[in-house]
Amino acid sequence: MMMAKPIRPEPPAKTGERLLDVKGLTIEIETRNGPATIVDGIDLHVDKGETLGIVGESGCGKSLTMLSMMRLLPNKIKVTKGEANFAGRDLQKMSNSELRKVRGGEVGFIFQDPMTSLNPVMRIGQQLAEPLIYHRGMSKAEARKRAGELLRLVGIPGAEDRLDAYPHELSGGMRQRVMIAIGLACNPQLLIADEPTTALDVTIQAQIVDLVKDLRDKLGMSVVWITHDLALIAGLVDRINVLYAGTVVEDAPVDALFANPSHPYTQGLLASIPKLSDERSTRLSSIGGTPPEPGRRPKGCPFAPRCPLAETICHERVPALEGLSHGGAHRVACFVAQRKLEAA
């Protein structure tokens, strides 16, 4: 049975060109008991034109990973290791003024909460115009015209009339569309959408997903879409990364992930997708326990304390993220899953 390890070439890129390449990014938070690791040497990549879905339970570090790439972390939280290359340049090392050009200009952000992510005392037309004036050097009048086009683009009825509205005058769904419009304002190469639909009801969620899909195809950008909700993004993304406790535990093309979920955590996630119902409370019911708190990470596999398949080795060594099939495009960080494959 002693076989040579299967050859694991790099997964074939959709267009072959890396747009975003995060390597070994580690994020720590200062606590009373010293620094605690929240994200542990995460690797991520997004190719040009590709849409990556990131799923994982609340608190697993999805938002912080995205914020840390753009150096937007709150005070007590720091990147201690790793790099985040965007179009070949390390975002962690570039100067503040270079970074500001990337932020908003080349990478658009859509935030989790449309209720609090817009400036409450600024008209939405002005909030849309701000990056256009700053990054594209438009005049106020040009920026306003373009702001109107953007609102129409994201499907806000009576777009031009809404330019003078304040955020509180719009519904949650409309505000989320405004956020998307702001994220898209400067035609970014990469759009990072951090759970852009959690605050919305189900039909509007689906509309927003369709909208982003449309815009992506029209504008040809790459997208990173963060969510807890695997089912929601199944039709949108090309590839999915499953995050657990600040590490990628499974990385697979979307079809392969649904057909052959290999990490026990992914299997749990899929099993807990409610069938034909909106009962979100049943989410993750099939996985007992809670993720490790920062600073109390287990020594071996971070999932070991909750894993139904855990073995002795799982508590001692950390499994690497390694390729399974599809020429290595499907990768998993689990000893048991990898052994199964080798045995097959």
Ligand X SMILES: Nc1ncnc2c1ncn2[C@@H]1O[C@H](COP(=O)(O)OP(=O)(O)OP(=O)(O)O)[C@@H](O)[C@H]1O
Enumerate binding residues for ligand X (CB under 6 A). Answer: 29, 38, 56, 58-64, 74, 112, 195, 228, 294
Kindly report the three-state secondary structure assignment for every residue of the chain. Answer: CCCCCCCCCCCCCCCCCEEEEEEEEEEEEEECCEEEEEEEEEEEEEECCCEEEEECCCCCCHHHHHHHHCCCCCCCEEEEEEEEEECCEECCCCCHHHHHHHECCCEEEECCCCCCCCCCCCCHHHHHHHHHHHHHCCCHHHHHHHHHHHHHHCCCCCHHHHCCCCHHHCCHHHHHHHHHHHHHCCCCCEEEEECCCCCCCHHHHHHHHHHHHHHHHHHCCEEEEEECCHHHHCCCCCEEEEEECCEEEEEEEHHHHHHCCCCHHHHHHHHCCCCCCCCHHHCCCCCCCCCCCCCCCCCCCCCHHHCCCCCCHHHCCCCCCEEEEHHHCEEECCHHHHHHHHHC
> Should residue 269 be labelled a site residue for ligand SF4 when binding is judged by CB under 6 A?
no
Of 54 and 170, which CB lies nearer to other proteins in the complex structure?
A: 170
Rounded CA separation 145/33 (Å): 53
Q: Which of 14, 23, 81, 152 binds other proteins (CB under 8 A)?
A: 152
Is 335 a binder of ligand SF4 (CB under 6 A)? yes
Q: How far is the CB of 338 from ligand SF4 (least distance, A)?
A: 8
Shortest reach from residue 303's CB to ligand SF4, in Å? 4
Partner interacting with residue 314 (select from Mg ion, ligand SF4, other proteins, none; CB below 5-8 Å by kind): ligand SF4
**Residue 29: φ, ψ to 5°:** -115, 140
Closest CB to ligand X: residue number: 63
Q: Which does 86 bind (CB under 5 to 8 A by kind): ligand X, Mg ion, other proteins, none?
A: none
Residue 264 as a binder of ligand SF4 (CB under 6 A): the answer is: yes
C-beta of 93: minimal distance to other proteins in Å?
17
User: Shortest gap between Cβ of 270 and ligand SF4 (angstroms)?
Assistant: 15
What part of residues 94-133 is at the interface with other proteins (CB under 8 A)? 99-105, 109, 111-113, 116-123, 125-126, 129-131
- Shortest distance, position 293 Cβ to ligand SF4, whole Å: 18
CA triplet 104, 110, 111: central angle to 5 degrees?
A: 120
Question: Interface with other proteins by CB under 8 A: which range of 137-145, 267-275, 293-301, 336-344?
Answer: 137-145
59: left (phi over 0), alpha (psi -120 to 50) or beta: left
38 binds, among ligand X, other proteins, Mg ion, none (CB under 5 to 8 A by kind): ligand X
Q: What angle do the packed helices 172-184 and 140-153 form, to 10 degrees? A: 120
Q: Please, which of residues 305-334 interact with ligand SF4 by CB under 6 A?
A: 307, 309-311, 314, 319, 334
Q: Rounded to the nearest whole angstrom, what is the least distance from the CB of residue 58 to ligand SF4 in the complex?
A: 20
Q: Compare residues 63 and 205 and give the one whose CB is closer to Mg ion.
A: 63
- Asked if 63 is part of the footprint of Mg ion (rule: CB under 5 A), the reply reads yes
Please choose which of ligand SF4, ligand X, other proteins, none residue 155 contacts, taking the beta carbon within 5 to 8 angstroms, the exact cut-off set by kind: none
119 binds, among other proteins, Mg ion, ligand SF4, none (CB under 5 to 8 A by kind): other proteins
Binding interface with Mg ion (CB under 5 A): 63
Binding interface with ligand SF4 (CB under 6 A): 263-264, 301, 303-304, 307, 309-311, 314, 319, 334-336
